[in-house]
Amino acid sequence: MRTGDYFFKQVISKIAMLIIVLCGATLLAFLFSNLSPTDPAEAFVRRTTSNPTQEQIAIVREEMGLNKPFTEQYFGWIGNALQGNLGISLRTRIPVAEELPGTLFATLSLAGMATLFAVIFTVPNSIYAAAHKDRTFDQATKITTIFGMSLPNFWIGSMLLVLFAVALPIFNVVDFGNIKSTILPALALAVPMAAASIRVLRSNLISSYQSDFVTYARALGLPESKINRMVLKDSLPPMITLLFQQFGFTLAGSAAVEGVFSWPGIGSYMVSGILARDLPVINACVLVIAVLFVLINFAADMINLAIGRDMENGKEGFRV
């Protein structure tokens, strides 16, 4: 019962922290996007008019609401965003709420496949390396993962593009919407993710095998298969946190890889908005990425809490 009360209190505290972080994320997103010395109204008018006057710039600034106090702009933006109104792109004159879902889906599909590849690479390699600690495979894994974490994903993407789309035309990277076209950019994102995850999971597996509860379980005569499952479950929370964070980082930092593969994701969409000083697009992209990142970390915390509660119940069970 006490475990259940603790779990409930942890969930409530995580939800309260989620709300606070979301408020801070939206405030910072709006603040940083408005810190540029370039006047969005002036930038927009200069793209549409050869010799704009100050009166024309002032009219556009008023239409965009930039003449209002910062707090009024912020709360007005939040109120509109909660109603699904993210403004109209200054570059395309299309509502951002209509353009954003397609780009977000493209990046989510890319990040999802990259995470899947990372899990496929991580789990078996980590288990085998931990089971053969300090042997040849483990030493090779250490060296390989260091290189994997050091290489920029856009460089990995460029090499994959040259090898498997140019030299060996196996993949057609310009055919967006086809699963086959997702493989190379997903692999470019997955390599650093898998390298970091392998090191974390391997280290946790070794530490768990040396823990007291494993010694006690073996003394009780529990099957090795059951001990292995318990060790893997005990080692998962740090890797889950890392993978979920990497998934969030991929959403925010996929622009370089998307640029290499001409992928129409939210990263490319945000970069084009920044270059055009398209404030509604910038605000909307930063807001969506920030909210998703916070929600992804919240989901990781909930999964880890559930795993932790299950592990505690299991340990208590065989102690009794």
| Contact yes or no for 11/305 (Cβ under 8 A) | yes
10 within a domain of the structure (yes/no): no
pLDDT of 137 strictly over 80: yes
Domain count, the chain: 1
CATH code of residue 145: 1.10.3720.10
Question: Tell me, what's the pLDDT at 174?
Answer: 66
Does the residue 32 lie in any domain? no
**pLDDT of res. 251:** 83
Percent of the chain with pLDDT over 90: 17
pLDDT in tens, 67-122: 788 888 888 888 888 888 888 887 888 888 899 999 999 999 999 999 999 999 99
Of 26-30, 40-44, 182-186, 314-318, highest mean pLDDT:
182-186
Using alpha carbons, list the distances in angstroms from residue 320 to 216, 296, 313, 317: 12, 36, 11, 5
Alpha-helix residue ranges (DSSP H) falling in the chain: 2-33, 40-48, 54-63, 70-82, 96-131, 136-150, 153-161, 179-209, 212-219, 224-253, 255-260, 266-275, 279-319
Within-domain flag for 53 = no
Kindly tell me if the per-residue pLDDT of 233 is higher than 90: no
19: in domain: no
Rounded to a whole number of angstroms, the CA Rg of the chain reads 24
pLDDT confidence band for 5 (50 / 70 / 90): low
* Per-residue three-class SS string for 171-200: CCCCCCCCHHHHHHHHHHHHHHHHHHHHHH
- In tens, the pLDDT along 23-80 reads 887 888 778 767 766 677 777 777 777 777 788 878 877 777 777 888 888 888 888 8
Per-residue model confidence (pLDDT) at position 37: 67
**Dist CA 109 CA 186 (whole Å):** 9
Q: Do residues 71 and 230 lie in contact, with contact meaning Cβ atoms separated by under 8 Å?
A: no
CA angle 192, 193, 198 (to 5 degrees): 100
Burial 286-310 (b: 16+ CB within 10 A, else e): bbbbbbbbbebbbebbeebbeebee
**In a domain? residue 73:** no
Q: How confident is the model at residue 245, as a pLDDT?
A: 87
Q: Which of 146-155, 173-182, 206-215 has the lowest mean pLDDT?
A: 173-182
CA gap 10, 17 in Å, rounded: 10
* Residue 320 pLDDT level (bands cut at 50, 70, 90): very low
So what's the pLDDT on residue 1?
Answer: 46
What pLDDT is stored for residue 116 in this prediction?
93
The domain in which residue 282 lies consists of: 93-317
Distance CA 248, CA 229 (A): 28
Question: Per-residue pLDDT averaged across 147-156, rounded?
Answer: 89
Query: Is residue 33 assigned to a domain?
Result: no
The neighbour count for residue 116, using CB atoms within 10 Å, is 12
Answer yes or no: is pLDDT of 15 > 90: no
Does 279 reside within a domain?
yes
Average model confidence (pLDDT) across the chain: 83
Residues 216-232: pLDDT tens digits? 888 888 787 788 788 88
- 84 CB contacts (<8 Å, ≥6 apart)? 97
278-289: pLDDT as tens digits: 888 888 888 888
Range from 172-186, 191-205, 233-247 carrying the lowest mean pLDDT: 172-186
Is residue 24 included in any domain, yes or no?
A: no
